[in-house]
Structure 1
């Protein structure tokens, strides 16, 4: 029997501490295909998918350890029983939002089926489906939508205010903390403005690397992602908004270096990861994380709009704004969100204002009635 780990720094048990049979199953799931044999079920997953799935399974193993289960004494498949799964779901539900619980279990189910493809997981999949139906949000997203043009304007205002602070000589020389705070606000304003016009998915947005994804050719700046870097597996090439190029230049030349050079306390046991060419950086020069992006957006948007506009909601805001303001060109929203099908955009992102649609319908009917009356008058005038 292998020794059980006694202490853990994270909620999820890291791969190196998984029991040997679990590690072997994970290796088999990641086996690359060749001309003789098919690959493992997880072999073609993107790195982010693999990390999420490993985290979900590691969280399950950590919970089993906390229950006093000797992991090495049980085969991986026999550990996963309906009774334990029920208790595990109850544990996850304590202090977590329903959608968070369902997210954890989605990755857990995926990994179970990938690591142990010959086992019958129908009961687990059905349990997950039931939980997913229960967790469907009842709150209407319409109340949280903000027109894309208002988000863009807000981003410009943040950059203008922060730029004014950075331009003050006294801030540069005697107030380093205020200078760093202004640099952070300028970065946040640029992110909000860019998300309002180019609402990329969070993974791509935070992964933008200068020279690799962010490219400049003369006066033109573009964002480029290869197919294996996107959710839809299709490459993305989109121009950086022309109105934000001066702001980008200032961020790269002045603001980003301030954040890179800012002093932060560092845990020697966990040294920070250098940003390298990553566009969005935090204080101290580390890459901005999803948590950092969420905190920045929550701080600014809650103060301005009275509620939190998260990064993914920017996609809904843009699609709905296009649908409301220019319904004849709704397909444009599909291309701006980089969906393969218009139905995805319409089903999941467009929340058209019914009052606006009704007003447009009334305007159209009034126009048709006026045209009909004009035809009747013209006919009456020409009839002898």
Structure 2
């Protein structure tokens, strides 16, 4: 497993142990995964269902089961698998409809934010640098929708490199979820903005930091964390567009925009998202069919209205 997966499983298992500890149920001398009993899980499940969404409840139990099996592969956790299946049947994912925008909207607003920051005269240099950085993040992720863990960890000279005057995102197989390399040349549309960020605004953000990270915090000049990048992107899109678009929704936007504007290239969306199986793209990301249907209906209604007039 990749370190980020192991860390996530450890954190989720830790939440379970913390619940038991605060409830006076934790057996500190028990065997590995010995605290994972039907009684303890039932109490944990009751607490989760009162506090978090059905999707988070399912994810918590799913990851508790995976962690438990890793800790003690000889124990029988089929009872926990059954609970997990029941939760999967009743979970209700939050609708993406209120957070869905197309890629061109994200790119346009990213470019607009950078232009506004570049011409602003009523805010500090640090504030301008922060806005320019955020605009560049939005536009870059929209055009190159890699996974957030890779986007947040871009480092100049390592996986973000200049080759013969062109900037490239170069991810090794060990860095991607699919365990295969992913190489993307930065779109020409972003080249001038990137050069301005690197030559001017990044230095303002860096302060005294000597980090090679592409995205630097405006607070201390240190590399932005995964959470900080996610938060900045969501807050920036909320301010600029009126919709807080999560980094994951950038991938939905890319797949749907590819289908809407390049329907003749059926595998474009899969390539953009680095998926081996196009069905994964269709199932989880593509909202183009509903958009196309809505557009067709609008055209029909417009024609009918004109005929009535």
Coordinate RMSD, CA, aligned: 2.3
CA distance in 2, matches of 1:99, 1:275: 41
Residue equivalent to 2:228? 292
- Return the offset for 1:357: 4.5
- Return the offset for 1:138: 5.2
Equivalence map 1:154-303=2 (5 Å): 154-165=109-120, 168=121, 178-261=124-207, 276-283=211-218, 284-303=220-239
Structure 1 residues 143 and 72, CA gap change in structure 2 (3 angstroms): closer
Q: Which structure 1 segments of 5+ residues have no match?
A: 1-44, 263-273, 364-384
Q: Could you say what secondary structure the match of 1:215 adopts? A: strand
- Return the offset for 1:223: 0.6
CA distance in 2, matches of 1:229, 1:275: 23
Q: Hey, which bits of structure 1, 4+ residues long, moved more than 4 A?
A: 357-361
TM-score, normalising length: structure 2 = 0.89
Equivalence map 1:1-384=2 (5 Å): 45-137=1-93, 139=95, 141-165=96-120, 168=121, 178-261=124-207, 276-283=211-218, 284-354=220-290, 356-357=292-293
Residue equivalent to 1:3? none
- Return the offset for 1:242: 1.3
Q: Which structure 2 segments of 5+ residues have no match?
A: 300-309
Q: Is the 8 A contact 1:319 1:333 kept in 2?
A: yes
Q: Could you say what secondary structure the match of 2:183 adopts? A: strand
Q: Is the 8 A contact 2:17 2:26 kept in 1?
A: no
Q: Quick check: 66-75 or 247-256, which moved more?
A: 66-75
CA distance in 1, matches of 2:261, 2:34: 56
- Return the offset for 1:323: 0.7
CA distance in 2, matches of 1:106, 1:359: 39
Q: When the two structures are aligned, how many residues end up with a matched partner?
A: 298
Residues 194-251 of structure 1 show CA distances to partners (whole Å, capped at 9, x for unaligned) of 1110011011110111111011122211111111110011110111111111111111
Residues 113-144 of structure 1 show CA distances to partners (whole Å, capped at 9, x for unaligned) of 111111111111221222233223152x2442
CA distance in 2, matches of 1:108, 1:358: 41
